[in-house]
Amino acid sequence: MSTAPLPERGGSLTEPFWQAAEEGRFVMPRCSGCARYVWYPEEACPHCGENEIPWVPVSGRGQLFSWAEVKHELYPAYEDTLPYVTGIVTLEEDARVRYVTRIVDADPAALAIDQPMQVVFRTLAFKGVDGEVVAPVFRPSAGAAPGKVDE
Partner 1 sequence: MTTSAEPDWGHSGELEDVSGEIAIVGVGDAIYQRASGKSANEIALDAIERAIADAGLRPDEIDGLMQSPFMGGGFTADTYRDYFGTGQSIWMSTDGGAMTWAATAPVAAAQAIREGKARHILNLFAVDWFSQKGKGGEGPGKYHGEERMKANFELPFGWFPQPVYFATIARRHMFEYGTRPEDLGAIAVACRYHATRHPDAITRQRPLDLAGYLARPMMVDPLRMDDCCLISDGGGATIMTSLERARDLAKPPVVVAGVGEGYSGSGAYWSQQGDFTASPQVFSAPRAFEQAGVTPGDVDVLTLYDPFSIVALMQIEDMGFCPKGGAGDLVADGKLHFDTPGLAYNTHGGLLSHAYVLGISHVNEVVRQLRGEAACQVSDCEIGVYGGYTGHMASTLVMRRDR
Smaller CB distance to partner 1: residue 62 or 143? 62
Closest separation in Å from C-beta 81 to partner 1: 7
Q: Number of C-alpha atoms within 13 angstroms, CB side, residue 81?
A: 20
Smaller CB distance to partner 1: residue 54 or 75? 75
Give CA–CA dist 65/84, Å, rounded: 17
Give the amino acid at 117.
Answer: M
Answer whether 18's CB lies under 8 Å from 133's CB.
Answer: yes
Using CB under 5 A as the binding rule, whether residue 96 contacts Zn ion is answered as: no
Answer whether 118's CB lies under 8 Å from 140's CB.
Answer: yes
Using CB under 8 A as the binding rule, whether residue 8 contacts partner 1 is answered as: yes
Of the candidates 78, 66, 75, 60, the one whose C-alpha atom is nearest the C-alpha of residue 141 is: 60
Using CB under 5 A as the binding rule, whether residue 48 contacts Zn ion is answered as: yes
For residue 146, count other CB atoms closer than 10 A to its CB: 14
Closest separation in Å from C-beta 13 to partner 1: 8
Give CA–CA dist 126/111, Å, rounded: 25
Binding mask 101-130 for partner 1 (x = CB under 8 A): xx-----x----x----------x------
Interacting residue ranges for partner 1, rule: CB under 8 A: 4-8, 11, 13-14, 17-18, 39-41, 65-72, 74-75, 78, 81, 84, 86-88, 98-102, 108, 113, 124, 133, 135, 137
Interacting residue ranges for Zn ion, rule: CB under 5 A: 31, 33-34, 45, 47-48, 50
